[in-house]
Amino acid sequence: MKSPRFPVTDDHIHIDPVNGRGIEAAKDFLRAGGTHMFLVSKPSWSLSVHPDAGPDYARVFDETLRVADLIAETGITVFPVLGVHPAEITRLTERMTLDEAVEVMKGGLTCAAGYVSEGKAVALKSGRPHYEVAPDILAASNQVLTHALELAADCSCALQIHAETGPCTDIVGLAGEARVPIERVVKHYGSPDTPLHPSLIAKHEGIEQLVREHRRFTMESDYMDENSRPGAVIGPKSVPRYTNKLLEQEKITVDDCFFIHAETVEKVYGVPIRLS
């Protein structure tokens, strides 16, 4: 395999050897031209973890780090992102009170922040349900999100946000109160209209315009790696393939590739993006 001319970074991907294709999916990413990935921890239930307290999430995080080590052996640079999926609140309230669920999720995020502080992960993940919920669930979810922002400030790390479709403008105020730089608050599955940092699905129609405007954004596949949903959201080859397609069509340049996949990533996450 020839050395890549430029880095290609997937800002949000899951690799799951238990429920999906695992390392073979990561190798697909590599063969397509991918060089760096942000490996995001999966929801607890997908790994048969049913937390009753914050430290129970350590099983999810340890599995994420184990998979990261396996992926790194292929030659891909892996940056773990750990957190508590916002849909956990719906699952948890099936077997405990809303207040208890909030405390469990906050505890899970505190646990994740410990990994970041120890240098085992580079960023946190939180948010609020992307589906319609009752007002009390939404208010509780925003409490959890606020805690995540405060932890990100304490750790001086980025926070990936999983939330409803749209700009999520109100999170700017929450981030300001927590003293997290807004460019380090990443709207996963984002859109160009967000004031947060947009992480766009690789095939997003707004990418070309953002390139022309020289606006910062990152690209992701949100590949779930679940055999029950093959290829969802889009496949592991998508970010490198789409980047190369834009390059071949002369809609972006090699300099643009470095700006998107290296310079912007370094600014948001504070990690080095280098070609070996």
- pLDDT 10s digits, 109-128: 999 999 999 999 999 999 99
**Nearby residues of 146 by Cβ (< 8 Å), 6 or more positions away:** 174, 177, 178
Quick: pLDDT tens for 142-181: 999 999 999 999 999 999 999 999 999 999 999 999 999 9
With respect to residue 77, please indicate whether it lies within any of the assigned structural domains: yes
β-strand partners of 70: none
Within-domain flag for 6: no
What are the structure tokens assigned to 275, written together? 């070609």
- What is the reported pLDDT for 3? 76
**Pick from 190, 218, 40: nearest CA to 112:** 40
Rounded to whole angstroms, the Cα distance separating 28 from 165 reads: 29
The residue range of the domain holding 75 is 13-197
Looking at residue 276, its pLDDT comes to: 75
Residues 256-273, mean pLDDT to the nearest whole number: 98
Q: Which tens digit of pLDDT belongs to each residue from 39-70?
A: 999 999 999 999 999 999 999 999 999 999 99
Per-residue pLDDT averaged across 77-81, rounded? 98
Residue 131 within any structural domain of the chain: yes
Angle between helices 58-72 and 23-31 (to 10 degrees): 40
Nearest to 161 by CA among 126, 195, 135: 126
Alpha-carbon separation of residue 69 from 23, 144, 270 (angstroms): 11, 29, 20
**CA 125 to chain CA centroid, nearest Å:** 7
Residue 193 lies in a domain: yes
In a domain, 42, yes or no: yes
* Strand bridging mode 9-13 / 218-220: unpaired
Nearest Cα neighbor of 218 from 12, 6, 68 is 12
Q: Yes or no: say if 64 and 39 are a contact pair by the CB < 8 Å rule.
A: yes
SS3 81: strand
Flag whether 268 is in a domain: no
Q: Is residue 192 part of a domain?
A: yes
* Residue 83 belongs to a domain: yes
Provide the percentage of residues in the chain whose pLDDT is more than 90: 98
Tracing tokens 């370094």 back to the chain, one arrives at 266
What gap in Å lies between CA 78 and CA 10, rounded to an integer? 10
Average pLDDT over residues 127-152: 97
User: What does the pLDDT read at residue 4?
Assistant: 82
Please say whether the beta carbons of 247 and 254 come within 8 A. Answer: yes
Number of domains in the chain: 1
